[in-house]
Structure 1
Amino acid sequence: MTKAAAGRVTIRDVAAAAGVSVTTVSDALNGKGKLRQETRERIRQTADSLGYRPSRVAQAFRHGRTGTIALVLPHRDVSGNEYDMIGLDYYMTIASGSARAAFSEGYALMLTPRITTEDEWRLIGPDGVVLCDPAASDPRIDMLEGMGIPVVSIERDPDRPDRPFYVSGDNEQNMRDLLDHLHQGGARRIALLSARSSWAWTLEGEHAYQSWCAERGVRPFVAHVSVDRLEADSYRAACALLDADEPPDALIASAEQYSEGATRACRERGVRIPEDLMLAIGIDNRFAQQSDPAITAIDLRPSDQAGAAVDMLLKRLNGTPVDKPSVVPSQLRVRASTSRS
């Protein structure tokens, strides 16, 4: 049985097969040393025939890198305790998609705790960072870039309009597509549960909603909801809307767990979905897919967003110019919660 058949081929296997030293193989494969061209070619052909692939970890150390990418998710404060949002479907898919994309390029992905100081970042020592949902003027971007650690964000920093290093969905168009769909289905009083945050997707979605209402001369109904107690606060906000003198006939729950609170409020009041209220959500998840009725949602394609973010970060690490953001197309998933026919 050959080494290639038995397991991973090493540089020592290539050296033995080519009849040269390990140093000579390293010089040949890395374009170093004073070797004859035919010797380089013979060693490269030997490496190819054995299926040798260089260790990205070893390459990283040679270039002063660690071979790791850090993924930073948002945190929320629930009853005085901090939790990251890995439990939400969107961020779980971001994490798994980032890990696959990093691994395919020979990098390890590290999911970090909440880090606030340069010393903590030096302890971890990532080559680069994928940052989800930066806040306006997010200080972490300045800190990391100042340390020489490049950052690519999923969604943009709202206060850095000229910074191209981000991946996002077309948030304004997504909201308009959802509003048009509800309006075409007969909705005339469309309310919005909007996250109380400075995240770009929140600001852009609410701006699109306000603009859409102004263009049609209809009254906007916006309830701002915490991002800390997602289901409980969205339930209370939905109750207030449904108990108003003129309740909405359609409701957009912008964040992932807002639809759970809204659904509970409707169920307790005997409000039928979609007959009395059409319900849609801005971020698709398993609850929306498995609910009865299933809930219309925007599929942001988080796995594709994660892959695009890792790809952009690796370009920055490799010195490839990045002069514009990457916009990942989303898809409106129309389901029973907005279908009255």
Structure 2
Amino acid sequence: MSSAKHGGPRRLTIADVAEAAGVSRTTVSHALNDRGQVDPQTRARVKDVARLLGYSPNLRAQRLRTGRTNSIALLSSMPFAVAGGASRLGFMMEIAATAAEAALKQGLALVLVPPLAEARGLLDELDVDGAIIIEPVAQDPQVTQLRRRGITVVSIGRQPEADPPLPYVDLQAGATGRLLLEHLAAQGARHIALLIGQQRRHSYVDVEQAYRDFTTARGLPCLIAKAEEAGGEEAGAEACRRLLAEHPSLDAICAPVDAFAVGAIRALRQAGRRVPEEVKVVTRYDGLRAQKCQPPLTAVNLHLEEVSARAISLLLAHINGKEAPDIVRGPTPELIVRASSDNA
């Protein structure tokens, strides 16, 4: 093999593969990229020749030609006080595991952007073809940054008040809320409080609406407390203390955020209220926090593996300009009953 000007080995080109395989450069390009009308035997021979020669595509040139980076980002605006801690980014990481596998099957790399303030600065430099954002808030600055750069964005969970709306996978937050509330009522709870975050996320907006409809239909008191996400478990504990002070007859708490639910159980224990005998507690995400809490929390299997796979498919369809829906329905949520609410 000839050498480059500075004495190093010359980089193999598509022309070298074409000459060795006895085909045109176009045939090599189509064969290696699984495109065009290439005879299967010829495609296999070209790939074998490329492998024997040690040929690898010039990714920089390929990107200049296609305008693609072959990578996508996964990000969340949920603060670390909620997303981190005992859950180890549970909600985000459970989605990331399946999303990474689904992306790799499409020849794409997945870049994970953790919910840290320092990550915000990366969004103006991140080189990706598209992004999936998990449960964005209304007017989420990350969505604004990415859209300003012309990057295709889809969300897991509807972005409230988005203009224009983001394509999204519907997490069915309202249905999840009804599932939890109906369970609490079936267990005999009659003074059920809703403990949600202050931010405008679909999982708060939709569950609050479901809660208001539920209490109105059953003639139950409407007890709503809101906590700041950045406060994590302590914010949940403080909100629970306020609820107990204002509503001593409280006998159940529906806290969609697992960090708030764990904090609420701590506050109940400190107040001498037994869980579940006196106050039942349920949450939405069936992650490590829910499973390791004492008592373990009744939660919901959101089937995040399927959710993330559907989000990848939705994003790719929009990146590639294919006809794609703006809303993809997520899997049916499944209640996982545990000791925090079970009368048995």
TM range (shorter): 0.7 to 0.9
Instruction: Report SS of the residue matched to 1:151.
Output: strand
Q: How far apart are residue 311 of structure 1 and its match?
A: 1.4
Q: How far apart are residue 102 of structure 1 and its match?
A: 1.5
- Paired residue for 2:259? 257
Q: State how 1:1-341 maps to structure 2 within 5 Å.
A: 18-20=21-23, 24-27=27-30, 40=39, 42-47=41-46, 62-76=65-79, 87-112=88-113, 121=123, 123-160=125-162, 163=165, 165-244=167-246, 246-329=248-331, 330-341=333-344
Equivalent pair of 2:198/2:227 in contact (CA under 8 Å): yes
Residue identity matched to 2:65: R
Equivalent pair of 2:123/2:145 in contact (CA under 8 Å): no
Q: CA RMSD in A?
A: 3.5
Equivalent pair of 2:139/2:161 in contact (CA under 8 Å): yes
Q: Percent identity?
A: 34
Residue identity matched to 1:91: M
Instruction: Indicate the larger mover: 129-138 or 17-26.
Output: 17-26
Q: How far apart are residue 161 of structure 1 and its match?
A: 8.0
Q: How far apart are residue 287 of structure 1 and its match?
A: 2.3
Q: How far apart are residue 97 of structure 1 and its match?
A: 2.6
- Paired residue for 1:5? none
Residue identity matched to 1:249: D
CA distance in 1, matches of 2:80, 2:298: 29
Equivalent pair of 2:124/2:146 in contact (CA under 8 Å): no
CA distance in 1, matches of 2:265, 2:49: 59
CA distance in 1, matches of 2:151, 2:297: 41
Residue identity matched to 1:63: T
Equivalent pair of 1:158/1:199 in contact (CA under 8 Å): yes
CA distance in 2, matches of 1:278, 1:27: 61
Equivalent pair of 1:165/1:322 in contact (CA under 8 Å): no
Q: How far apart are residue 32 of structure 1 and its match?
A: 8.9
Residue identity matched to 1:90: F
Equivalent pair of 1:241/1:247 in contact (CA under 8 Å): no
CA distance in 1, matches of 2:20, 2:299: 57
CA distance in 1, matches of 2:34, 2:299: 52
Change (3 A) 1:320 1:245: closer
- Paired residue for 1:6? none
Q: How far apart are residue 246 of structure 1 and its match?
A: 2.9
Instruction: Indicate the larger mover: 56-65 or 249-258.
Output: 56-65
Change (3 A) 1:101 1:57: farther
CA distance in 2, matches of 1:303, 1:165: 19
Change (3 A) 1:46 1:203: same
5+ long unaligned stretches in structure 2:
1-12
TM-score by length of 2: 0.80
Change (3 A) 1:22 1:68: same
Q: How far apart are residue 321 of structure 1 and its match?
A: 1.4
Instruction: Indicate the larger mover: 216-225 or 157-166.
Output: 157-166
CA distance in 1, matches of 2:120, 2:294: 42
Q: How far apart are residue 18 of structure 1 and its match?
A: 4.0
CA distance in 1, matches of 2:30, 2:185: 66
Instruction: Count the aligned residue pairs.
Output: 323
Residue identity matched to 2:94: T
CA distance in 2, matches of 1:12, 1:248: 76
Change (3 A) 1:288 1:139: closer
Change (3 A) 1:87 1:15: same
Equivalent pair of 2:71/2:129 in contact (CA under 8 Å): yes
Instruction: Report SS of the residue matched to 1:194.
Output: strand
Deviation readout 1:187-227 (Å, 9 max, x if unpaired): 10001111110111110011110111111121111110110
Change (3 A) 1:40 1:100: closer
Change (3 A) 1:42 1:302: closer
Residue identity matched to 2:213: S
Instruction: Report SS of the residue matched to 1:228.
Output: helix
TM-score by length of 1: 0.81
